[in-house]
Amino acid sequence: MDNALVLNYIRTKYPQLAEKSLQDEIASVGKVITFKSGDIILDIGSYIKSMPLIISGLIKAVREDSEGNEIFLYYLADGETCSMSFTCCLMNKKSEIRTIAEEDTMLISIPSKYMDEWMSKYASWRNWVMKSYELRMKELLKTIDSIAFQKMDERLIAYLQNKAEKLHSKILHTTHQEIAYDLNASREAVSRLLKQLENDHYVVLGRNKIEILTK
């Protein structure tokens, strides 16, 4: 991948990383990688050797219990990164989450050896990483709150709104079973609630497709 193209991606998607020398370093060491929808980008128990800067697409982060049940944590879209990857890179720890491409995704992979160096070298990198931590923490708290305090229909609406916002689209290509996995619910319960939302003119259901009519 031509360095000039990587540099253009950084300037377009990550304007916060404004220092020219930092942009040049990212363009020099960053590797562009593409994933197909459904690909596992990072699996639980894997060592993380790089940090992703997402250029396009959508990535889903999930946790898994001892019985293999998954629960949705948050989405990562263009212009974002996974802060947990940064922590694991620095501490040489195995990942405790799984990340999956929700749609075809392109990212810039930054080798882990540059993470700590750039924290002290570039103020814009340090500030961006800290803001990324704050954003991920807020999203995790929202997930915890939804599980602890919201009814299933409220969790479903919040989930649909969040995904639509990240995709910049009111049309979601997904199945009832996939939503059930993310919400750790039964497919029957999700289908029943989606049908109720359709009756309330909140969504229109199609084959592996949900169109959101209102926010």
pLDDT score at 163: 93
Percentage of residues of the chain with pLDDT beyond 90: 68
Which distant-in-sequence residues (6+ apart) come within 8 Å of 58 by Cβ? 75, 76, 77, 101, 102, 103, 105, 163, 166, 167
Q: Are residues 70 and 41 in the same domain?
A: yes
pTM of the shown model = 0.85
CATH value at residue 188: 1.10.10.10
Is 165 inside a domain boundary? Answer: yes
pLDDT at 1 over 70: no
pLDDT score at 91: 76
Q: How confident is the model at residue 33 (pLDDT cuts 50, 70, 90)?
A: very high
Single-letter code of the amino acid located at 209:
K
pLDDT at 208 over 80: yes
pLDDT at 27 over 90: yes
**Domain encompassing residue 72:** 3-140
Q: Are residues 136 and 158 in the same domain?
A: no
pLDDT at 72 over 60: yes
3 vs 128, which has greater pLDDT?
A: 128
For tokens 């990483």, what's the residue? 129
Q: How many domains does the chain have?
A: 2
Is 41 inside a domain boundary? Answer: yes
Q: Are residues 12 and 55 in the same domain?
A: yes
Q: Are residues 93 and 122 in the same domain?
A: yes
**Which of 140, 173, 199 delimits the end of a domain?**
140
Q: Are residues 167 and 75 in the same domain?
A: no
- State the burial class of residue 65 (Cβ atoms within 10 Å of its Cβ: 0-12, 13-18, 19+): exposed
Kindly report the CA angle at 122 between 56 and 27, in degrees rounded to 5? 40
Is 145 inside a domain boundary? Answer: no
2 vs 147, which has greater pLDDT?
A: 147
